[in-house]
Structure 1
Amino acid sequence: MKAVLFDLDGTLIDSAPQLVGALNQLRQQYNLPPIPFLVGRPFASHGAAGLLKAGFDMDKNDPAYDARVQEFLDIYKEVFNQNVQCMEGIEELINTLNLKGISWGIVTNKAKKFAQPLVSSHPLLSSTECLIAGDEVSVPKPSPEGLLKASQLLSIQPSDIIYLGDDRRDVMAANDAGMVSIVARYGYLEAGDDANNWNAQHIIDKPSDLLSYLSP
């Protein structure tokens, strides 16, 4: 394999503390008690939609949904880049990719206004060769559009690229793009969600496990 593409939240960075924290600040505004961190954590890969479902049992059919999303984002934008850490083992993996001369990039559904500062402010992640945000494509994951765009930017064929993510949508996008799909089971999987049912080519439990799939 000639390159690795990563999802961002729950795969490269542990953004759950900031996301769940913002959700609980919003719940406080509505006189609701905070939800336990471990209850909210699995929804961190689903963005505002997943978090509002977890925190308010609200979906896009609710008349107040759009306004509540904006309220959440207004809070999140104040905390999203505070003390964000990489997932355990990611720094060692990225350093190894760099040493081996293997290209790597990021394809996320996160909006660029959040993704770009998170990546550019991190000494390690700022060396990524490409960053494709969710609002830089016409259709975000599970569409393969972002992955194919990254493939073009890297000038590497999709069949020579691994895509690592912690959500079923990541697997769908990778498979449709013709890439090697690998699940980061260390990420934000929901309780009872079996990644074995996602039709991924491989599943790993820690970032270093990815290294065994880098050989052609």
Structure 2
Amino acid sequence: MSDDPTQRLDMSPGGEPAPDAAATSRDRRTLLIVLIVIGAAVLIGLIVTVVLLLLGTGRPQALATASATPTTAGAEPTPVATSAVPRPTATSTAEGGGSQNGGTAPQPTGGVFTAFTAPATVRCEAPATNFTPPPIKVRVSWQTIRTDSVWFVQGTSDAADSQYMQVPVSGSQEDFPYEVDFACGSASATYNLTLVGSDGRHVQKIWTVTNTGDRF
């Protein structure tokens, strides 16, 4: 047998005692637990942060909406402006017709001349010896509506006021109560027809006839 001392199995090659295997395993387990606890804490912190952010994002919107539309007890709601729809306006059409909207337009009530003709000239012929030329009649024709009466007079005065000669509301010189001749001794003559409308208004037709022939 060798005289060298027997080396103990629990000693390290450098003479240090060998680490205890049980203690090393326990330390690793402790470290693992600590890491798990730290990871769980971090995870919980993240979850809590996310929840708070979500809650914080929704709350200001509700507050902003509530503050944007404040309500006061008893306050009347603000009316909403609406554009007015224009109403159609009745427009009169030709005499005797209705309006474009189906209504009846106001009808005129005053009398008017609807037709009037009269020559502007006559030609007088000087008489021959022992011969008298026939008289030249005043020629005129007229038509009226909404008229109570028509009057004739020579000159420019209102014939209805003069009450000289009443004639039909429509007619011609043939309807004169007596014949009216042109005075050939004059260069011209002026005549007047005046109607009295159903509303009492007077309307005049004044015309002048010029002699283009002899004056005698």
Q: TM-score range by the shorter chain?
A: under 0.3
TM-score by length of 1: 0.21
Bigger radius of gyration among the two:
2
TM-score by length of 2: 0.21
Would you tell me which structure has more strand in proportion to its own residues? 2
